[in-house]
Structure 1
Amino acid sequence: MEKNVSNIKRLSNPTSYFLSVVGFFILVGLAVGIVYGATAAVQYQWRWFKVPQYFMYKPTVTIYAEDDGEIKSITEKGGEVELLVEEGGETHTYMVPKGSLSLDEGDMLSPGDIIAEYKDGWKPGILLKGLWLTLKISFMSTIFGILLGIIGGVARVSDTPVLKWSAITYVEIVRGSPLLVQIMIFYFVLGTTINSILSMHGMPIIHPEWYGIMALSVFTGAYVVEIVRAGIEAIHPGQIEAARSQGLTYFQTMFHIILPQALKTILPPLAGQFINLIKDSSLLGMISVTELTKATREGITTSLQTFELWLLCAVLYLSMTFTLSMFVQYLERRTANK
């Protein structure tokens, strides 16, 4: 016993701790060096300076002449310029920022000539849009998944056959098939049927994003059912009997007595499930939902910045999952103190 204690003390002394920290950063440096060495071997040119435009950018607005014409007048109004252009016998008015004109009053125009060119206001880039959509889908799927999981978990431990068997059937079917297959069924089978009915009645169709949320919610809910069931069964059965003896119904007992206590047990596995949900949302690109992964692929298609954008995509997913993990740890500490 003393030998074990002395070994632990030796490992936890300041010198060993410092060396361990140095060793960690050496390993990180080696990993980064290997990546850069590999890119140098294939002569890849890093272009990190182009990455910010995928988050925020100022689009270039170009006004072209549509027909033969003439610039009739140029009038300054504050920080803008009012431009009157006669094209094809009609007079068109353009309001453009001051300094965006390269023509003068009286200049003649031909079809395709540039009348004005300027930078518009800031717009969200494709990665920022994809990140927002991933967060939105993950949040909504988490809420619906929790609701399905709690209802299914309570039904799973019920003694009523219709509730218990329905919950078991739901869990086995969903957990027994791949998520990608379920997404395809929701979109191409269920979605096609529902949208066809809506179109026949002159109603707007449902966007693919919502079928993706349905698929993720149902898939996550099946795993939450088993997590909730395990948490409920960890509570002593005597508490259920005591609550029922006080006149509480089965569902009142579950939602007021059992589930609040089970929360402490089920929080860690729930966190893991919802972290998986954020990553699983990347599959929705298969049904034309431009979440973060699909947005990254589209950015690579237009810029050929393969390494930068995929690494950035991984960092963004890591930031989301790490933030969720820290939040759940905070909740665990709060519930442990109560």
Structure 2
Amino acid sequence: MFSDFDFDVIARTWPYLFKEGMTFTLTLTAMSTLFGILLGTTIALMRLSGIMILEKVGTAYVNLVRSLPLVLVIFWFYFLLPYIGQWLMGTERPMTVGAFMSALITFSLFEAAYFAEIMRAGIQAVPKGQVAAAQALGMRYPQVMGYVVLPQAFRAMTPLLLTQTIVLFQDTSLVYVLSITDFLGAASKVAQRDGRLVEMYIFAALVYFIISFAASYLVKKLQRRMAVA
């Protein structure tokens, strides 16, 4: 199988793979992480708010999203989001969303459920004595969360948040099923065009492995340094 392995196809196409494909993948990963953490933190606060309706809504969201396959959610949003936009906007035709925006909304909403559980654990790990002390100083609930609880929770949960981001980076390859030119999609196009499936898919797997392994190694080093601190 490897007797006629063509390294030249990789040398000729790697600028396209990284400029077009990897740029899309990293952009989608970074933006989905940002919005996912923001929404996930909001959901975590809802679940810990002590208000029954907010707790139930937050819990239902987390349980629902974590029970669905990601690829199914990607298909749902890609094909249904234009019609949802049409219904909300009252237009005659389905709203134009675009592949990138559809993928960004999908991954942000999906990953928010996982980030919410991470943040909920971080918030609950903050000693209750600190919350009581802040309240004794006259701080209101938003001030206690913003100045006392959330900074400590983010610091404690940073390794887990980064680990989930690595998982998100790997999961972005699923947009390939929508024919979006992410890194895997770009590799697949080259493979189909040049008839070099083995070379391109091995190269794509190797790139994903190197990036994920390096990121995981850095997260472990960060976790050890934070543990010592």
TM-score in terms of structure 2 length? 0.88
Deviation of the 1:302 alpha carbon: 0.9
Q: Conserved in 1, the CA contact under 8 Å of 2:163 and 2:219?
A: no
> What is the percent sequence identity of the aligned residues?
31
Structure with bigger helix share is 2
Deviation of the 1:196 alpha carbon: 8.5
Q: How does 1:47-66 map to 2 (within 5 A)?
A: 47-56=6-15
For residues 331 and 249 of structure 1, the distance between their equivalents in structure 2, rounded to whole angstroms, comes to: 33
In structure 2, do the counterparts of structure 1 residues 335 and 259 end up closer, same or farther at CA, with 3 Å as the change threshold? farther
Listed one character per residue, the Cα deviations across residues 29-61 of structure 1 (whole Å, up to 9, x for unaligned) are xxxxxxxxxx25xxx5111022122123xxxxx
Listed one character per residue, the Cα deviations across residues 111-163 of structure 1 (whole Å, up to 9, x for unaligned) are xxxxxxxxxxxxxx245311111011111101111111111112221111232
Structure with bigger strand share is 1
Partner of 2:77: 186
Q: Conserved in 1, the CA contact under 8 Å of 2:166 and 2:212?
A: yes
SS of the equivalent of 1:278 reads helix
In structure 2, do the counterparts of structure 1 residues 328 and 166 end up closer, same or farther at CA, with 3 Å as the change threshold? same
Do structure 1's residue 223 and structure 2's residue 114 form an aligned pair? Answer: yes
1:293 to 166, 169, 184: 184
Q: How does 1:36-115 map to 2 (within 5 A)?
A: 39=1, 44-56=3-15
SS of the equivalent of 1:55 reads helix
Q: How does 1:279-318 map to 2 (within 5 A)?
A: 279-318=170-209
For residues 105 and 170 of structure 2, the distance between their equivalents in structure 1, rounded to whole angstroms, comes to: 16
1:138 to 3, 13, 29: 29
1:132 maps to a residue whose letter is T
For residues 18 and 189 of structure 2, the distance between their equivalents in structure 1, rounded to whole angstroms, comes to: 9
- Specify the structure having the higher radius of gyration (Cα): 1
Give the aligned length. Answer: 229
Partner of 1:27: none
2:120 maps to a residue whose letter is R
Do structure 1's residue 176 and structure 2's residue 135 form an aligned pair? Answer: no
For residues 221 and 52 of structure 2, the distance between their equivalents in structure 1, rounded to whole angstroms, comes to: 38
Deviation of the 1:311 alpha carbon: 1.5
2:4 maps to a residue whose letter is Q
For residues 179 and 87 of structure 2, the distance between their equivalents in structure 1, rounded to whole angstroms, comes to: 18
TM-score in terms of structure 1 length? 0.61
After superposing the two structures, state which structure 1 stretch, 202-211 or 153-162, moved more. Answer: 202-211
1:266 to 153, 157, 179: 157
Measured on the aligned residues, the alpha-carbon RMSD in Å equals 2.6
For residues 37 and 212 of structure 2, the distance between their equivalents in structure 1, rounded to whole angstroms, comes to: 18
SS of the equivalent of 2:151 reads helix
For residues 86 and 207 of structure 2, the distance between their equivalents in structure 1, rounded to whole angstroms, comes to: 33
Compare relative contact order (CA 8 Å, sep 6+) and give the higher one, 1 or 2: 2
SS of the equivalent of 1:146 reads helix
Gaps of 5+ in 1: 1-38, 57-124
Deviation of the 1:220 alpha carbon: 0.8
Deviation of the 1:195 alpha carbon: 6.3
Do structure 1's residue 207 and structure 2's residue 88 form an aligned pair? Answer: no
For residues 196 and 152 of structure 1, the distance between their equivalents in structure 2, rounded to whole angstroms, comes to: 26
